[in-house]
Each structure stands twice: as C-alpha cells, then as structure tokens.
Chain A
Amino acid sequence: GDSVTQMEGPVTLSEEAFLTINCTYTATGYPSLFWYVQYPGEGLQLLLKATKADDKGSNKGFEATYRKETTSFHLEKGSVQVSDSAVYFCALSDRGSARQLTFGSGTQLTVLP
C-alpha cells in the first residue's frame, strides 16, 4: 500500500538557519503530495501541495518540489523563524480509488532565537 517516510525528528535550528525536512513516498499511481503543519494545540493546516511531477509548491517561504524519479518531496526554507516551530507532516493522496491522505510520522521543528 501507499506509505510516506519522513525524516526523524526532532530538529532544532537557530533562527535564520536553512531548513530541510526529507520526505519520500511509495505509491502505486501518481499521487498528489502535501505538507501540513501543526502548531501546538491546533489542527493541521495545509502548508503547500504539488499535484504532478516537477511541480513546486510554495507558501510562506517554504518550498517543496515533486520529484518522481526519486519519489521525494523534501520541504525547504531558506531562513527559519521562531514562529515556524511546529510539527510538519508530509502526506500523499492517491488519485485512484483511495480517497484518504496517508501521512508520514511528522517532524518536530524547534527554532531557537
């Protein structure tokens, strides 16, 4: 079945550091790929998405490129802020009969001032 493997956390960075959170997937079809963010005590918010190979999703300085050849969707940000501290989830949605999101295990990011 479909699966998402995410970089193990937690990740601790200083403010203005470069961020990469790795995400790879296994799917039978051509899934859509998502990054969701969960701030403390809140629900999941969509951060960005990409629906086909070589698409780049971007939002709030975060970017991720859909790489079909490496089945990856790594999240990057050039300069993190304290307010970026949260848990980040990579997820996929299969275009086939399955309707649900399959999530990775989540990566806790802490940004120190």
Chain B
Amino acid sequence: DSGVTQTPKHLITATGQRVTLRCSPRSGDLSVYWYQQSLDQGLQFLIQYYNGEERAKGNILERFSAQQFPDLHSELNLSSLELGDSALYFCASSVKQGGGTDTQYFGPGTRLTVL
C-alpha cells in the first residue's frame, strides 16, 4: 500500500458526459501528479500540482482540468468525454516539488470506461 488513495476505482459513463476523479496523497506529500495509461499511448503525464498551485503540464487536453485543495487532495475533471478517453488514470504524490531524486508514489488508479 503506497498510502495514495484514489476514488472511484471504476467509472463507466457515456460520451459527452463529465466525471471527477479524486486523489488523496500520502500524508505529508505536497506534490500531486496525474497520469493517463492507455493501450495506444502508454503512460503519459498529464499535470502536476504543488501545495495548491499548478507546476507542470504535460499532454493534458483542454477538456481536462485539475485542482489541488487546501487539504492537498486533488481532483481531475474530464468533460465532453470521448471513447478515446477510456483509460486508467493514476495519481502519484511526492514530498517535495518534484524532479531530481524525489520519488513518486502511485495510487491504485481509476479505470474510466466511456461507452
């Protein structure tokens, strides 16, 4: 158990809908990262927050957004969903700002299926 929790575990929805994925980092970790794992794209970084502020952006679509709250939990919002958004979404956390030697610890993921 990494100490990172994600809810829900599974999510099934229809095209055009909007969903929210939730992540609670390990106790004491200030950084939260979101990754998408799909069969065709592999594991891709989406976005990082540090202590409530956005710090880095990767291949995140404009239809997707995220935020980190004062209690350090984070939410990833996916809107106008398309079939291609079906994937496993991971959250990871680390103590510091990230990069270098800082290790990221991953949650169990949320499997999103868009029908």
Contact = CB atoms under 8 A, between A and B. Distances in A.
Interface of A: 32, 34, 36, 42-46, 49, 51, 89, 93-106
Contacts, number: 66
B112 to A, nearest CB: 15
B101 A32 contact: yes
Contacts of B98: 93, 99-100
A100 B102 CA distance: 10
Chain B's interface size range is: 20 to 34
B103 A43 contact: no
A94 B99 contact: yes
B45 A101 contact: yes
Nearest to A44: B106
A36 B102 CA distance: 14
Interface of B: 2, 4, 31, 33, 35, 42-45, 48, 55-56, 58, 90, 92, 97-109
Given A43-B109, A101-B45, A103-B42, A93 B2 contact: no
A100 B101 contact: no
A83 to B, nearest CB: 18
26 contacts: A32-B100, A36-B106, A42-B108, A43-B4, A43-B90, A44-B92, A45-B106, A49-B101, A93-B99, A93-B100, A94-B99, A98-B56, A99-B48, A99-B56, A99-B97, A100-B33, A100-B45, A100-B48, A100-B56, A100-B58, A101-B43, A101-B45, A101-B104, A103-B42, A103-B43, A103-B44
B5 to A, nearest CB: 11
Nearest to B6: A43
Nearest to A103: B43
A45 B101 contact: no
Nearest to B43: A103
A89 B37 CA distance: 12
